[in-house]
Amino acid sequence: MAQELSSAGALALIPPSALLRVPGCETGLRPQATAALPGGTVNRSFRLDTRAGSFVLRLNGAAGEVLGANHEREVRLHAAAAAAGVAPQLIYADPVERCMIMRYVPGELWEASDFGRPERLRLLGATLRILHAIAPPAVAPFDLAALLRGHAAHLAAEPAERVLLEDLMASADAALVLCARGGRDATIVHNDLNHLNLIQAERLTLIDWEYAAVADPIFDLGCVLAYYPQAEPFAEELLDAAGLTGRGSMAELCGARFLFLLLSFLWYRRRRLSREVTAAEHAQERALLERLRGWSSGIGTATSAD
Protein backbone atom coordinates (compact mmCIF):
# COMPACT_ATOMS: atom_id res chain seq x y z
CA MET A 1 0.00 0.00 0.00
CA ALA A 2 2.93 2.35 0.48
CA GLN A 3 4.34 4.59 -2.23
CA GLU A 4 8.03 4.53 -3.12
CA LEU A 5 9.32 7.20 -0.77
CA SER A 6 12.06 6.78 1.81
CA SER A 7 11.11 6.83 5.48
CA ALA A 8 13.15 10.01 5.97
CA GLY A 9 11.62 11.63 2.89
CA ALA A 10 8.08 10.86 4.03
CA LEU A 11 8.82 12.06 7.56
CA ALA A 12 10.07 15.40 6.21
CA LEU A 13 6.61 16.07 4.75
CA ILE A 14 4.86 15.82 8.14
CA PRO A 15 4.59 18.97 10.31
CA PRO A 16 6.25 18.42 13.71
CA SER A 17 3.07 19.53 15.52
CA ALA A 18 1.09 16.78 13.79
CA LEU A 19 3.74 14.17 14.48
CA LEU A 20 3.53 14.86 18.22
CA ARG A 21 -0.13 13.76 18.10
CA VAL A 22 0.77 10.24 16.96
CA PRO A 23 0.77 7.64 19.76
CA GLY A 24 4.38 6.76 20.56
CA CYS A 25 5.69 10.10 19.28
CA GLU A 26 4.25 12.39 21.98
CA THR A 27 7.63 12.97 23.62
CA GLY A 28 9.40 13.74 20.38
CA LEU A 29 10.47 10.19 19.52
CA ARG A 30 10.67 9.53 15.79
CA PRO A 31 8.54 6.77 14.28
CA GLN A 32 10.24 3.46 13.70
CA ALA A 33 9.09 3.63 10.06
CA THR A 34 7.21 6.13 7.91
CA ALA A 35 5.73 5.65 4.44
CA ALA A 36 3.52 7.73 2.17
CA LEU A 37 0.25 6.01 1.25
CA PRO A 38 -1.34 5.96 -2.22
CA GLY A 39 -4.55 7.61 -3.29
CA GLY A 40 -5.98 11.04 -2.82
CA THR A 41 -5.67 14.02 -5.14
CA VAL A 42 -6.17 16.62 -2.40
CA ASN A 43 -4.89 15.13 0.88
CA ARG A 44 -1.64 13.40 1.86
CA SER A 45 -1.61 10.27 4.03
CA PHE A 46 1.22 8.46 5.78
CA ARG A 47 1.63 5.20 7.65
CA LEU A 48 3.66 5.57 10.84
CA ASP A 49 4.89 2.59 12.84
CA THR A 50 5.75 3.45 16.44
CA ARG A 51 6.29 1.58 19.67
CA ALA A 52 2.55 2.09 20.31
CA GLY A 53 1.41 0.46 17.07
CA SER A 54 0.73 1.39 13.44
CA PHE A 55 -1.21 4.52 12.54
CA VAL A 56 -2.31 6.59 9.56
CA LEU A 57 -1.79 10.34 9.63
CA ARG A 58 -3.76 12.32 7.06
CA LEU A 59 -3.03 15.95 6.25
CA ASN A 60 -6.12 17.59 4.75
CA GLY A 61 -5.66 19.85 1.75
CA ALA A 62 -7.58 23.11 1.74
CA ALA A 63 -8.98 22.39 -1.72
CA GLY A 64 -11.14 19.60 -0.32
CA GLU A 65 -13.53 22.02 1.36
CA VAL A 66 -14.06 23.87 -1.91
CA LEU A 67 -14.96 20.54 -3.49
CA GLY A 68 -17.48 19.60 -0.79
CA ALA A 69 -15.47 18.06 2.07
CA ASN A 70 -16.58 18.89 5.62
CA HIS A 71 -14.00 17.79 8.17
CA GLU A 72 -16.02 18.66 11.27
CA ARG A 73 -18.86 16.49 9.99
CA GLU A 74 -16.36 13.84 8.96
CA VAL A 75 -14.99 13.44 12.49
CA ARG A 76 -18.39 12.70 14.03
CA LEU A 77 -19.51 10.33 11.28
CA HIS A 78 -16.18 8.52 11.09
CA ALA A 79 -16.28 7.97 14.87
CA ALA A 80 -19.82 6.56 14.67
CA ALA A 81 -18.83 4.24 11.81
CA ALA A 82 -15.71 3.12 13.71
CA ALA A 83 -17.83 2.21 16.73
CA ALA A 84 -19.88 -0.04 14.43
CA GLY A 85 -16.74 -1.70 13.05
CA VAL A 86 -16.86 -0.37 9.48
CA ALA A 87 -14.18 2.35 9.80
CA PRO A 88 -10.73 2.50 11.43
CA GLN A 89 -10.46 3.61 15.06
CA LEU A 90 -10.14 7.38 15.15
CA ILE A 91 -7.27 8.50 17.39
CA TYR A 92 -7.12 12.27 16.91
CA ALA A 93 -8.66 14.90 14.69
CA ASP A 94 -8.39 18.67 14.46
CA PRO A 95 -10.15 20.36 11.53
CA VAL A 96 -8.26 23.59 12.27
CA GLU A 97 -4.87 21.87 12.07
CA ARG A 98 -6.18 19.89 9.06
CA CYS A 99 -4.93 16.70 10.65
CA MET A 100 -6.44 13.28 11.37
CA ILE A 101 -4.88 10.21 12.96
CA MET A 102 -6.45 6.77 12.92
CA ARG A 103 -5.29 3.23 13.59
CA TYR A 104 -3.78 1.54 10.57
CA VAL A 105 -5.90 -1.30 9.16
CA PRO A 106 -3.81 -4.07 7.54
CA GLY A 107 -5.32 -5.55 4.44
CA GLU A 108 -5.56 -5.19 0.67
CA LEU A 109 -7.07 -2.24 -1.10
CA TRP A 110 -9.86 -3.12 -3.48
CA GLU A 111 -9.22 -2.81 -7.19
CA ALA A 112 -11.57 -1.33 -9.75
CA SER A 113 -12.17 -4.83 -11.11
CA ASP A 114 -13.70 -5.86 -7.78
CA PHE A 115 -16.80 -3.84 -8.66
CA GLY A 116 -17.52 -6.27 -11.46
CA ARG A 117 -17.60 -9.23 -9.04
CA PRO A 118 -21.05 -9.92 -7.58
CA GLU A 119 -19.64 -11.53 -4.42
CA ARG A 120 -17.64 -8.37 -3.72
CA LEU A 121 -20.67 -6.18 -4.31
CA ARG A 122 -22.74 -8.31 -1.94
CA LEU A 123 -20.05 -7.81 0.71
CA LEU A 124 -20.05 -4.06 0.09
CA GLY A 125 -23.85 -4.02 0.26
CA ALA A 126 -23.81 -5.88 3.58
CA THR A 127 -21.28 -3.39 4.95
CA LEU A 128 -23.45 -0.50 3.82
CA ARG A 129 -26.43 -2.12 5.51
CA ILE A 130 -24.50 -1.95 8.82
CA LEU A 131 -23.48 1.65 8.14
CA HIS A 132 -26.99 2.77 7.23
CA ALA A 133 -28.40 1.18 10.40
CA ILE A 134 -26.29 3.38 12.70
CA ALA A 135 -28.25 6.09 14.52
CA PRO A 136 -26.73 9.20 12.94
CA PRO A 137 -25.30 11.89 15.22
CA ALA A 138 -26.28 15.53 14.81
CA VAL A 139 -24.04 17.02 12.13
CA ALA A 140 -24.11 19.86 9.64
CA PRO A 141 -26.77 19.19 7.00
CA PHE A 142 -25.83 17.85 3.59
CA ASP A 143 -27.62 19.47 0.66
CA LEU A 144 -26.65 17.71 -2.55
CA ALA A 145 -28.77 20.09 -4.64
CA ALA A 146 -26.97 23.11 -3.15
CA LEU A 147 -23.58 21.46 -3.68
CA LEU A 148 -24.33 20.81 -7.34
CA ARG A 149 -25.68 24.33 -7.81
CA GLY A 150 -22.59 25.78 -6.15
CA HIS A 151 -20.24 23.96 -8.51
CA ALA A 152 -22.41 24.89 -11.49
CA ALA A 153 -22.58 28.57 -10.49
CA HIS A 154 -18.80 28.69 -10.20
CA LEU A 155 -18.37 27.12 -13.63
CA ALA A 156 -21.09 29.27 -15.24
CA ALA A 157 -18.74 32.23 -14.97
CA GLU A 158 -17.25 30.76 -18.15
CA PRO A 159 -19.73 31.65 -20.96
CA ALA A 160 -18.94 28.48 -22.90
CA GLU A 161 -20.09 26.39 -19.94
CA ARG A 162 -23.57 27.83 -19.49
CA VAL A 163 -25.65 25.92 -22.06
CA LEU A 164 -24.13 22.60 -21.04
CA LEU A 165 -24.70 23.32 -17.36
CA GLU A 166 -28.32 24.40 -17.84
CA ASP A 167 -29.17 21.07 -19.47
CA LEU A 168 -27.32 19.02 -16.86
CA MET A 169 -28.81 20.89 -13.92
CA ALA A 170 -32.33 20.46 -15.31
CA SER A 171 -31.71 16.71 -15.35
CA ALA A 172 -30.27 16.92 -11.82
CA ASP A 173 -33.45 18.58 -10.54
CA ALA A 174 -35.49 15.75 -12.05
CA ALA A 175 -33.17 13.13 -10.52
CA LEU A 176 -33.48 14.72 -7.07
CA VAL A 177 -37.27 14.57 -7.34
CA LEU A 178 -37.04 10.93 -8.41
CA CYS A 179 -34.84 9.97 -5.43
CA ALA A 180 -37.05 11.83 -2.98
CA ARG A 181 -40.05 9.70 -4.01
CA GLY A 182 -38.65 6.82 -1.97
CA GLY A 183 -39.23 8.65 1.32
CA ARG A 184 -36.25 6.90 2.95
CA ASP A 185 -35.01 8.11 6.32
CA ALA A 186 -31.63 9.83 6.19
CA THR A 187 -28.69 7.69 7.34
CA ILE A 188 -24.93 7.99 7.52
CA VAL A 189 -23.58 7.72 3.97
CA HIS A 190 -19.92 7.46 3.00
CA ASN A 191 -20.49 9.33 -0.27
CA ASP A 192 -17.13 8.44 -1.87
CA LEU A 193 -16.92 4.68 -2.40
CA ASN A 194 -13.80 4.70 -4.53
CA HIS A 195 -11.88 1.42 -4.60
CA LEU A 196 -8.95 3.12 -2.85
CA ASN A 197 -11.27 3.78 0.10
CA LEU A 198 -12.05 0.09 0.67
CA ILE A 199 -9.68 -2.18 2.63
CA GLN A 200 -10.31 -5.91 2.56
CA ALA A 201 -9.17 -8.11 5.45
CA GLU A 202 -11.35 -10.35 7.63
CA ARG A 203 -14.02 -7.71 7.08
CA LEU A 204 -14.43 -4.74 4.80
CA THR A 205 -13.30 -1.39 6.20
CA LEU A 206 -14.24 1.98 4.69
CA ILE A 207 -11.69 4.80 4.92
CA ASP A 208 -11.52 8.51 4.01
CA TRP A 209 -14.80 9.89 5.30
CA GLU A 210 -14.33 13.55 4.35
CA TYR A 211 -17.41 13.58 2.08
CA ALA A 212 -19.56 11.57 4.51
CA ALA A 213 -22.95 12.97 5.40
CA VAL A 214 -26.39 12.15 6.73
CA ALA A 215 -28.54 11.68 3.64
CA ASP A 216 -30.58 9.25 1.55
CA PRO A 217 -28.89 5.81 1.78
CA ILE A 218 -29.47 5.21 -1.91
CA PHE A 219 -26.79 7.84 -2.56
CA ASP A 220 -24.07 5.36 -1.56
CA LEU A 221 -25.32 2.87 -4.14
CA GLY A 222 -25.66 5.57 -6.77
CA CYS A 223 -22.07 6.54 -6.03
CA VAL A 224 -20.89 2.97 -6.71
CA LEU A 225 -22.68 2.79 -10.07
CA ALA A 226 -21.45 6.23 -11.07
CA TYR A 227 -17.83 5.38 -10.33
CA TYR A 228 -17.91 1.82 -11.69
CA PRO A 229 -20.10 1.02 -14.73
CA GLN A 230 -19.05 -2.65 -14.41
CA ALA A 231 -21.27 -2.85 -11.31
CA GLU A 232 -24.44 -2.01 -13.24
CA PRO A 233 -25.38 -5.62 -14.20
CA PHE A 234 -25.46 -6.42 -10.48
CA ALA A 235 -27.37 -3.34 -9.34
CA GLU A 236 -30.35 -5.33 -8.05
CA GLU A 237 -28.05 -7.61 -6.02
CA LEU A 238 -26.35 -4.56 -4.52
CA LEU A 239 -29.73 -3.03 -3.70
CA ASP A 240 -30.80 -6.24 -1.97
CA ALA A 241 -27.54 -6.72 -0.04
CA ALA A 242 -27.78 -3.15 1.24
CA GLY A 243 -31.27 -3.84 2.56
CA LEU A 244 -32.97 -1.41 0.19
CA THR A 245 -35.11 -3.84 -1.77
CA GLY A 246 -38.67 -2.64 -1.34
CA ARG A 247 -37.44 0.75 -0.13
CA GLY A 248 -35.67 1.81 -3.29
CA SER A 249 -36.55 1.24 -6.94
CA MET A 250 -34.16 0.77 -9.85
CA ALA A 251 -35.44 4.07 -11.26
CA GLU A 252 -34.49 5.86 -8.04
CA LEU A 253 -31.10 4.15 -8.07
CA CYS A 254 -30.58 5.37 -11.64
CA GLY A 255 -31.45 8.88 -10.48
CA ALA A 256 -28.87 8.64 -7.69
CA ARG A 257 -26.32 7.35 -10.18
CA PHE A 258 -26.92 10.37 -12.41
CA LEU A 259 -26.47 12.77 -9.47
CA PHE A 260 -23.11 11.27 -8.57
CA LEU A 261 -22.00 11.18 -12.18
CA LEU A 262 -22.80 14.88 -12.34
CA LEU A 263 -21.09 15.62 -9.02
CA SER A 264 -17.97 13.78 -10.18
CA PHE A 265 -17.99 15.56 -13.53
CA LEU A 266 -18.38 19.00 -11.95
CA TRP A 267 -15.59 18.12 -9.47
CA TYR A 268 -13.19 17.27 -12.29
CA ARG A 269 -14.34 20.21 -14.41
CA ARG A 270 -13.87 22.69 -11.60
CA ARG A 271 -10.41 21.36 -10.80
CA ARG A 272 -9.34 21.60 -14.44
CA LEU A 273 -10.50 25.19 -14.80
CA SER A 274 -8.70 26.25 -11.63
CA ARG A 275 -5.44 24.28 -11.84
CA GLU A 276 -3.33 22.03 -14.02
CA VAL A 277 -4.54 18.44 -14.06
CA THR A 278 -3.13 15.20 -15.38
CA ALA A 279 -4.04 13.71 -18.74
CA ALA A 280 -5.77 10.86 -16.89
CA GLU A 281 -7.95 13.30 -14.92
CA HIS A 282 -8.89 15.14 -18.12
CA ALA A 283 -9.78 11.85 -19.79
CA GLN A 284 -11.94 10.90 -16.78
CA GLU A 285 -13.81 14.20 -17.07
CA ARG A 286 -14.55 13.56 -20.77
CA ALA A 287 -15.73 10.02 -20.04
CA LEU A 288 -18.08 11.27 -17.31
CA LEU A 289 -19.58 13.82 -19.67
CA GLU A 290 -20.28 11.15 -22.28
CA ARG A 291 -22.06 9.02 -19.69
CA LEU A 292 -24.09 11.99 -18.49
CA ARG A 293 -25.25 12.79 -22.00
CA GLY A 294 -26.29 9.20 -22.49
CA TRP A 295 -28.51 9.10 -19.41
CA SER A 296 -29.88 12.59 -18.91
CA SER A 297 -32.82 12.10 -21.28
CA GLY A 298 -33.95 9.01 -19.40
CA ILE A 299 -34.14 10.84 -16.07
CA GLY A 300 -36.99 13.06 -17.16
CA THR A 301 -38.90 10.10 -18.59
CA ALA A 302 -38.63 8.17 -15.31
CA THR A 303 -39.70 11.20 -13.30
CA SER A 304 -42.80 11.91 -15.37
CA ALA A 305 -43.96 8.28 -15.29
CA ASP A 306 -46.61 7.28 -12.77
Sheet holding 99-103, edge to edge: 33-36, 44-50, 53-59, 99-103, 90-94
Give residue 296's pLDDT. Answer: 61
* DSSP run (H or E) holding 101: strand 99-103
- Rounded distance between C-alpha atoms, residue 268 and residue 249, angstroms: 29
* Whether residue 174 has pLDDT greater than 50: yes
Query: Any residues with CB less than 8 A from the CB of 188 and at least 6 apart, and which?
Result: 77, 80, 81, 131, 132, 134, 136, 212, 213, 214
As a whole number of angstroms, the distance between CA 248 and CA 160 comes to 37
Q: Measure CA 89 to chain center.
A: 18
Residues 66-78, mean pLDDT to the nearest whole number: 88
Q: Identify whether the C-beta of residue 100 lies closer than 8 Å to the C-beta of residue 92.
A: yes
CB contact set of 223 (below 8 Å; sequence gap of 6+): 190, 191, 192, 193, 256, 260
Half-sphere exposure of 242 (CA within 13 A, CB side): 31
H-helix or E-strand containing 179? Answer: helix 162-180
Supply the pLDDT for residue 159.
Answer: 78
- Domains of the chain, each with CATH number or no CATH: 7-103 (3.30.200.20), 108-304 (3.90.1200.10)
Q: What is the pLDDT of residues 229-284, one digit of tens each?
A: 999 999 999 999 999 999 989 999 999 999 999 999 998 888 777 777 788 888 88
Q: What is the pTM of this model?
A: 0.89
Task: For residue 182, give the nearest of 252, 129, 235, 245 by alpha carbon.
Answer: 252
3-state secondary structure at position 69? coil
pLDDT digits (tens, 9 = 90+) for 184-203: 999 999 999 999 999 999 99
DSSP secondary structure letter of residue 233: G
Burial class (CB in 10 A: 0-12, 13-18, 19+), 158: exposed
Q: Cβ–Cβ contacts within 10 Å for residue 306, how many?
A: 2
Closest CA to 108 of 205, 194, 199, 196: 199
Answer for the pair 288, 264: CB distance below 8 angstroms, yes or no: yes
